[in-house]
Structure 1
């Protein structure tokens, strides 16, 4: 006959604390001394204590799991975003669950309406994924915070990148470095550039508006021909763009790329054609991925404060979870950034 499984009360009695303190210590929550946490973990290990997730969920009505939805895992920026969000979720004593949509609206919609991937399995969702509609979120009834939704009047709280101000700063940096004919590399494969400027579906139009404003404010020319359109966000698209620009002698002396992967691709593509960065052209990216520090030349970038983003997003989500009947009006918060000047613009 199996021995009775140890409980929180058993651990609490042996350590000399309350069951609530044991629960906080096991979940890594704040408010527990390091020495007490160490004793709790040691006793739990010796007693072979295991959390009964099903019973805990039934009792509290919560799973302790936060879903993080993103488009992909391989893009370096997403890796850092996931890392920042996961760390912040764990810091609050919860468990992150990752889900990839592959830029698919159908996958995002299925994830939001699935009775398994919503409801009681997750306490809440943080989503930066294409096709996650506000209607689907509201219908799911699951507490949700969106990342970089960019809607003019959001129905769900969102935490946004510094899209317009960051792009303005990136172009201004190129101007300060002597550039006077600046190209803007962005994802715009199927839409006229002027239509893109009026769009509110993604961050690309917002960044493009910021870049255009910086050019106009400095008395420099802007027209749609300054926008270099690519079909994707990864390095291969940047390499292809650089080959086209070099082969057609485009004449730009500086480039703002809408993400760092494109910028790294641009640098490598120019190298293939004998165009030197920063001697012949200067290049700056947007995001602040760690890989940029190790490229040759190292990449200047508009670095988004992902730690701040994670703290705000998780904090907003926990307020919804902890007070489900509260009058939570949608908010739109923009996080900070830092312009990091490296070799690609010097």
Structure 2
């Protein structure tokens, strides 16, 4: 389903200049100045965050395409999606497209819905960057989830302001501000019942854990977590650049052809750079769903080799698995048949 706007009335792009509206507009304007020019797409759910983002983007960007994913998980979801599309046009978006999806079961409903949503958005964006309504509160929840998994600094770097094609202009804006924007411009957000369902880990973090931390630590926890994520991303960018240099050095040599890595070069490098280089190499070679356990096992082939066999790292194809191994002083990555 698609709704396309024609010429908009003269006041379609006007918003009241309240504190909340101006804060969100400044956030969107700053993001556009840093990462995009011209047209953008906005993922609109009908919730307060994406409504506020859409309203600001319609004013600040040249042209906005609204993309509304209908997960079809609740009765009446098509009506909610149609109303969101109509609201997007009224706010000044050039067009609004409803994208019905089928949500599978892989990894649980949250993960499956997310995978279906991002696939639909990617397929409909027409080469445009897609703005997402994640706020500072969402960032804090993401960092806490990463801390709970204990899978290293990368997992608590949170969400980036731009990871092509996904843009997040509101990562420094509180959720309360986006709700106030909706009040200020006279919009009633859709309240997704899944956002209050206690069976979802993120919902419990939002409704139980973060409020408790704010109370115990005297406030400011969400902002502190978001700042930590930003600092770690800055640090991570430097480490990734150094790891790329290490990867190039370890890939060189007459026996490599760029597909194997020198054990000696890796073993003499700092652990943080070595593991990042190995991770990048595995992903480039087709590894899927890498975990910290995978990385530790492959790292053991370099620094703690006792004759152990190869490490299956996910990926591969039907009847064949992708295995990292050690041969003649080099790390290898090959498809091997399964019995």
TM range (shorter): under 0.3
TM-score (normalizing by structure 1)? 0.24
TM-score (normalizing by structure 2)? 0.24
